[in-house]
Amino acid sequence: MNLIIDIGNTQAKLAVFEGNKMLFRIQVDAENIFKKIKEIQENYQNIQKAIVSSVGKLDKNSFETLKKDFQLLILDHETPLPFKNLYSTPKTLGIDRIALVCASVEKYSNKNVLIIDAGTCITYDFITVDNHYLGGAISPGLRMRYKALHNQTAKLPLLTSKEPEALIGDSTESAMHSGVFNGVVFEIDGNIEAYRKKNNDLTVILTGGDAKMLSKQLKSSIFANSNFLLEGLNFILQFNTN
């Protein structure tokens, strides 16, 4: 069994895999990681390997104690990967984006794949049929756009993400929902269309915290998978320890 530890800015995701099958998944406050890991160890006593991924700076020393219990891999830019990275600044490529690309290599090998992660930021990552990672794009996510409208103006309120009831907003709040939400939907659809014009047989994956909300509104054909990053981390662990 494998333990997957994905650390965000304030939240962390923990998952247990047996082979490629996810047995358990939970999201916790980052400060409660080690307490929850102990609970997981009690419930899944056959865990032998673990991987740690963090989008921010990681205090590797804090995870040294895990080496007593697991064969531990801390993902960084020196970790061997199952694809050729052609990003011009590979050391600046987000660890989360690396994991997503690895998931596509495992599940959609020999295909052109566009991975869209709709979270704090919206990231677009493209890998070719030859397993060459070329890069992609980064833009503000839903909540970041709402915050920008509020912080950069004098009177616009701070709203939470919501699907608009109509294209035309007839109040300030409904106009903001239409602008933010539909702006993201049109952006994603436009990017998918542009990639499809240049790449035959394109497979599109949508993941991230806002994937479920957005997937219902996209006109493009996609595969929505909220666990894609965790699956990618599990594949990286298997790739480096088998």
Which residues are known to be catalytic? 96
The conformation of residue 179, written as its DSSP 8-state character, comes to I
How far is the C-alpha of 211 from the C-alpha of 218, rounded, in Å?
10
How distant is the alpha carbon of residue 35 from its chain centre? Answer: 24
Q: How many CB atoms are closer than 10 A to CB 115?
A: 27
Query: Residues in the chain, how many?
Result: 242
**Closest of 226, 235, 184, 182 to residue 205, by C-alpha:** 226
| Residues 45 and 92 sit within 8 Å (Cβ to Cβ) | no
| Residues 240 and 79 sit within 8 Å (Cβ to Cβ) | yes
The SS3 assignment for 118 reads strand
